[in-house]
Amino acid sequence: MSDRPETKPDPLDVVRAYHQRTKHHYHRYARALGYMDWETQPDPFRRYDGAELLELDRPAPTPEPRYRDIFVPGRVKPAPFDRDFVGRLFFDALAISAWKQYGDARWSLRVNPSSGNLHPTESYLVCGPVPGLGGAPGVFHYQPFLHALERRATFSAGDWEALRGDFRSRRSSWA
């Protein structure tokens, strides 16, 4: 029996070890069972239990802007960055476009499909205050099944300004 106190592994070391064991490699695929386990598929509509849910309006189709107009500077008028704009952006870029069914299996098709793997494309919005979205800067996860945003974090005005300043200074070093 040892007199040394039991030490728990560092959670970050556990995550890194898992990543090393399960990642793809140039000369091989990631470790797997070798077959598809249909009973343990991930939920294609990730939800963050307890997160504040902000439903977005489903925009009606409009004839504008026309595809050819997006290539002409000044032809497409800027839209205000508000709740309607965010709703249209996510609806046009990442929403569910249709449902398919074969036998008992039913699945969704996305406007922007994933690479064919079992996990879909996930999207987040990191933004300052947006009219109609609670008024505070934050991080939001897009939930396509509900066409809604889930608030993952809220920033104080001071923290948001510090983040913006840090981003601006990094962006200027990229040029």
pLDDT tens column, 143-175: 999 999 999 999 999 999 998 888 888 777 765
Give domain status of residue 166, yes or no.
Answer: yes
Q: What is the pTM of this model?
A: 0.72
At residue 1 the predicted structure's pLDDT band, cuts being 50, 70 and 90, is low
Lowest-confidence pick of 15-24, 32-41, 53-62: 32-41
| 44 lies in some domain | no
Evaluate whether residue 98 is within a structural domain: yes
* Assigned domain for 20 exists: no
Q: Is residue 40 in a domain? A: no
Tell me if 36 is assigned to some domain: no
Top-ranked range on mean pLDDT: pick from 3-12, 19-28, 140-149: 140-149
Structural domain range at position 77: 49-174
3-state secondary structure the chain: CCCCCCCCCCHHHHHHHHHHHHCCECCECCCCCCCCCHHHCCCCCCCCCCCEEEECCCCCCCCCCCHHHHHCCCCCCCCCCCHHHHHHHHHHHHCEEEEEEECCEEEEEECCCCCCCCCCCCCEEEECCCCCCCCCCEEEEEECCCCEEEEEEECCHHHHHHHHHHHHHHHHHHC
Question: Which residues are CB-contacts of 42 (< 8 A; sequence separation ≥ 6)?
Answer: 118, 119
The answer to whether residue 112 is domain-embedded is: yes
Q: Does residue 118 have a pLDDT over 60?
A: no
Average pLDDT over residues 18-30: 85
pLDDT tens digits, one per residue of 61-99: 888 889 999 999 999 999 999 999 999 999 999 998 889
Is residue 120 predicted with pLDDT exceeding 70?
A: no
pLDDT for position 81: 92
Provide the domain count of the chain: 1
Question: What's the average model confidence in pLDDT over 128-152?
Answer: 93
In a domain, 145, yes or no: yes
pLDDT tens, residue by residue, 25-49 = 888 888 777 777 778 777 778 889 9
